[in-house]
Amino acid sequence: MRNWHGEGIWYGADYNPEQWPEQTWAEDIDLMRRAGVNLVSVGIFSWALLEPAPGRYVFDWLDRAIDLLHDGGIGVDLATATASPPPWLAHRHPETLPRRADGTVLWPGGRQAYCPSSPVFRGHSLALVEAVARRYARHPAVVLWHVSNELGCHNVHCYCDVSAESFRGWLRERYGDLDSLNAAWGTAFWSQRYHDWAEINPPRTAPTFANPTQQLDFLRFSSDEQRAQLRAERELLNRLVPQPVTTNFMIGTGIKYLDYHSWAADVDVVANDHYLTAADPQPQVNLALAADHTRGVAGGAPWLLMEHSTSAVNWQPRNVAKTPGQMRRNSLAHVARGADGVLFFQWRASRAGAEKFHSALVPHAGPDTKVFREVCRLGADLRALAEVRGSRVDADVAILFDYEAWWGAELDSHPSVDVTYTDRLSALHAALWRAGITADVVHPSADLSRYRLVLAPTLYLVRDADAAALRRFVEGGGTAVVTYFSGIVDEHDHIRLGGYPGAFRDLLGVRVEEFFPLRDGETVHLDDGARADVWTEWLHAEGAEVLAAYTDGPLPGVPALTRHAVGAGAAWYVGTRLDDDATDRLVARLLTETGVRPPVGAPAGVEVVRRRSADRSWLFVVNHTGRPVRLAVSGVELLGGTRCDGELEVPAGEVAVVREQPAPVPATA
Ligand code: GAL
């Protein structure tokens, strides 16, 4: 891994000078300096300007822009510029256009209109990467390379003939022979047996439900195809340039089809884009989940927030602006959770194009604005936090997350459309957030030994090795919690027979003989006072202690919540969809049982996260409430807060960061 760290926290934005007359550039640099910007992503959507005709490259404008940035002391995260091909590519090679499952062609005119499996696209894109890399490899402004942009954001699934051929190649690699494929896909069902590789296609629009394993493999293949572009560009860059390489992931906010856990090793630094959902009344909780997941993908290492927004976006139905102070809380919450860089989309709000109503660091109204003043304040804040760079986030709790389990759990023809993969993940994470506990969101194959509590929400598809690892974690003294519709199938989406939740039945000491999903809006109650909906199941405790049973609904008297002592630890099972109050109570019990505590007691709505280096630790306190709060924190204040009767007072809506003295001993030490 090449080092991507600078002297402090990176701060900046996508910078698109090509959208502006050159007279604006000098003002841009002045304003960037005023704001404390030290890194900008350049050239992301510049292919059509850099290569106006195949093989003819025009770099003079980019030379001037990068030189200007360098003179201003601003680093460059240089794009390979392959994110969106120029119109000439599709015009000359219409076969590079992607197709939907029903055959609809996706035409140029927006962005990312290419088939990810197209060798023609690959060839042209790599030629561009080589030209850009050769030109700027030694430029002193370049500190990082940015492959493409949000790979697979709009074109992750292509069903064209080129993709079909590539899918067949991928399947040959995976299965070797047709018998293995037929067995894995369960093609004895519905007369689906394949006798020739040429008979196999992507799961194109069919009269009814397509084969689930075919669907699952196509999703795996599609994620791998996008990763193949990343790998191809990175390999070339590694040969031609000395700087580190990244690309921006889209972890959180519902992006489902790219298996970032499997991509992490292909970048020198994990970078993520995160946008708030305007309709979400508490977007800071989802932000925390996205950040905790990004850190999990990065293996706990610091990461880069490559994009977020200073205020409103343009692509939601109602694009709500950020209230005063909200951007700062958002940015610093990302830093609290491991980001060593805070970048935005984009520097200057566009005057033309589909994103002209998207906020920026410099709004249409110019620098004399709330947004730009907050941008300058944030720049100063991040400078004050330089010493935090490189430190890690304390977490005693892990939540298991597997993109393949997500894909599998939400395939069609399942017991209930109301069972969605991220539902319990969000609910449990939010309950932890309310309790002041930071969790790492990690892949089931991650090393669990450093955690005290591991949650497995809706882990529908699980590999034998990962189920065994969870068992070892519990035997060794850990506490695990598994929620309904987990452990159901193997990696081929074949049911694990003998009773649900197959892979976890022994660990949990329960056996489910039948699912009893609830009707839309139907609720049930448990004898511990909990309310639940969506899901119930006919469960037998076989070794587990019953903590709560249904009092009504289709299964009165049947256990809903159990705990099984295993080795030195315990495994809990939640067989229904508890409401938020009941989830809070469950989490409180788990925290008591495991001794996991927040870094410091804080009132509701106040987020406290600890980062730690070898010999120091820092507490980030984000006050999301509308009133000042006081916390028992002592140390050196790097940011915000005032001392009041020996306590740290953090004003309404503000953020404080304190270097703790003395640094507390890690809980797991
Ligand atoms: C991202 C993308 C940016 C910009 C931004 C708007 O998905 O990478 O180029 O479109 O969204 O929010």
User: Mind listing the pLDDT tens digit for each residue in 483-526?
Assistant: 999 999 999 999 999 999 999 999 999 999 999 999 999 999 99
Determine which residue's CA is closest to atom 12 belonging to ligand 1: 313
Say how many Å lie between the CA of residue 285 and the centre of ligand 1. 21
What's domain 397-594's superfamily in CATH?
Answer: Class I glutamine amidotransferase (GATase) domain (3.40.50.880)
Q: What is the DSSP string of 33-102?
A: HHHT--EEEE-TT-HHHH-SBTTB---HHHHHHHHHHHHTT-EEEEE-S-SS--HHHHHH-GGGS-B-TT
Superfamily of domain 606-660: Golgi alpha-mannosidase II (2.60.40.1180)
Taking the C-alpha atoms of residue 343 and residue 331, their distance in angstroms, rounded to an integer, is 9
Q: Which residues are catalytic?
A: 150, 307
Q: What is the pLDDT of residue 668?
A: 56
Q: Are 249 and 241 in contact (CB under 8 A)?
A: no
Mean pLDDT of 339-348: 98
Q: Does this model's pTM top 0.95?
A: yes
Separation of CA 343 and ligand 1 centre (Å): 12
Residue nearest to atom 7 of ligand 1 (CA): 150
Beta bridge partner(s), residue 362: 348
Is residue 179 predicted with pLDDT exceeding 50?
A: yes
87 is written with which tokens? Answer: 């119109």
Residue 248 Cα: closest atom of ligand 1 = 8
Residue 315 CA, closest ligand 1 atom number: 12
Q: Rounded to an integer, what distance in angstroms lies between the CA atom of residue 96 and that of residue 93?
A: 6
What are the residue ranges spanned by the domains of the chain? 10-157+222-388, 397-594, 606-660
Is 307 close to ligand 1, i.e. is its CB under 6 Å away? yes
**How confident is the model at residue 270, as a pLDDT?**
98
Distance 148 CA to ligand 1 centre (A): 12
Mean model confidence pLDDT for the chain: 97
Minimum CA distance residue for ligand 1 atom 4: 345
Q: Please tell me whether 319 is known to bind a ligand.
A: no
Neighbours of 384 (CB within 10 A): 16
Cα–Cα separations (whole angstroms), residue 71 to 33, 38, 40: 11, 12, 14
Cβ burial, residue 529 (10 Å; 0-12/13-18/19+): exposed
Across the range 160-177, mean pLDDT stands at 98
Q: Is 174 annotated as a binding residue?
A: no
Mean pLDDT of 588-592: 98
Q: What average pLDDT does range 561-574 have in this prediction?
A: 98
> Across residues 572-579, what is the average pLDDT?
98
Is the C-beta atom of 38 inside 6 A of ligand 1? no
**CATH for 10-157+222-388?**
3.20.20.80
Say what the pLDDT of residue 669 is.
Answer: 46
> pLDDT tens digit string along 217-245?
999 999 999 999 999 999 999 999 999 99
Determine whether the shortest distance from the Cβ of 313 to ligand 1 is under 6 A: yes
Residue 149 marked as a ligand binder = yes
Answer yes or no: is the C-beta of 275 below 6 A from any ligand 1 atom.
yes
Q: Is 644 annotated as a binding residue?
A: no
Measured distance CA(108)–CA(668) in Å, rounded: 53
Distance 40 CA to ligand 1 centre (A): 15
- Of 466, 653, 632, nearest in space to 640 by CA: 653
Residue 533 in contact with ligand 1 by CB distance below 6 A: no
Say if residue 284's pLDDT is above 90: yes
Does the beta carbon of 358 lie inside 6 Å of ligand 1?
yes
Confidence of residue 644 (pLDDT cuts 50, 70, 90): confident
**Angle, helix 326-336 to helix 370-384, in steps of 10 degrees:** 30
Tell me how far apart the alpha carbons of residues 16 and 353 are, in angstroms, rounded to a whole number.
13
The whole-number average pLDDT for the span 44-69 is: 98
pLDDT at 662: 72
How many Å apart are CA 43 and CA 15, to the nearest integer?
8
Kindly report the protein residue whose alpha carbon is nearest to atom 11 of ligand 1. Answer: 345
Q: Return the pLDDT at 135.
A: 98
What are the phi and psi torsion angles at 216 (to 5°)? -60, -45
Answer whether 47's CB lies under 8 Å from 84's CB: yes
Confirm or deny that 122 is annotated as ligand binding.
no
What value does the mean pLDDT take over residues 430-455? 98
- Pocket of ligand 1 contains residue 146 by CB under 6 Å: no
Contacts of 601 by beta carbon, 8 Å cutoff, 6+ apart: 436, 631, 632
